[in-house]
Amino acid sequence: MSFPEAAPLPAATDLHAQPLRFLTAYWGVWQGLSGRANDRLGAHGLDLRSFIALSYVQGQPTSPGELARVLDVPKYEVTRILDRLTALGAITRDSDPANARSRRLDVTPSGRALWHAAVQTVTAVVGPALATLGPRVDPLTADLEHLAALTEDTP
């Protein structure tokens, strides 16, 4: 049985091809780096989502609802992440003094130590790939942050 030959992909200069090119490249980077990071973070009892959540809580006390908004995940998924971090002794969930119906997330001293160890792991995994970009890494990261902010407002 013979199959018709697939049409060639549009040239890179074709503006209509750019979204596909971007998404394919983004997917490849995400799959490659996040998979390796997840594998290595397992040694700390973390996965990438829980590491990012713990990173966010490092900066300031926050609420589960705020964390769900920042991570752009449903509240039930944040509950799973927080259960994991609580079981590890990395965070506490207490009543918010300003609103007794709300919870407040704080990092514990062992959570800080866990986070510092996990940052070293993530740096060892992601750092070599980023180093190949040299000085282009900062503008690229800023552009990705800009795109991420734009998607928050886009349905």
DSSP string, 35-50: HHHHHHHGGGT--HHH
- The residues near 32 (Cβ < 8 Å, ≥ 6 apart) are 129
pLDDT of residue 116: 97
Q: Comparing 7-11, 25-29, 81-85, which segment has the lowest mean pLDDT?
A: 7-11
With bands split at pLDDT 50, 70 and 90, how would you rate the model's confidence at 138?
very high
Q: What is the topology classification, in CATH, of domain 44-136?
A: Arc Repressor Mutant, subunit A (1.10.10)
The residue written with tokens 């995994």 in the block is 125
Q: Pairing between strand 91-96 and 99-107? A: antiparallel
Q: Comparing 97-106, 131-140, 142-151, which segment has the lowest mean pLDDT?
A: 97-106
DSSP annotation string for 64-111? HHHHHHHHT--HHHHHHHHHHHHHTTSEEEEEETTEEEEEEEEE-HHH
* Integer Cα distance of 19 and 100 in angstroms: 46
Domain ranges (residues) in the chain:
44-136
pLDDT of residue 155: 54
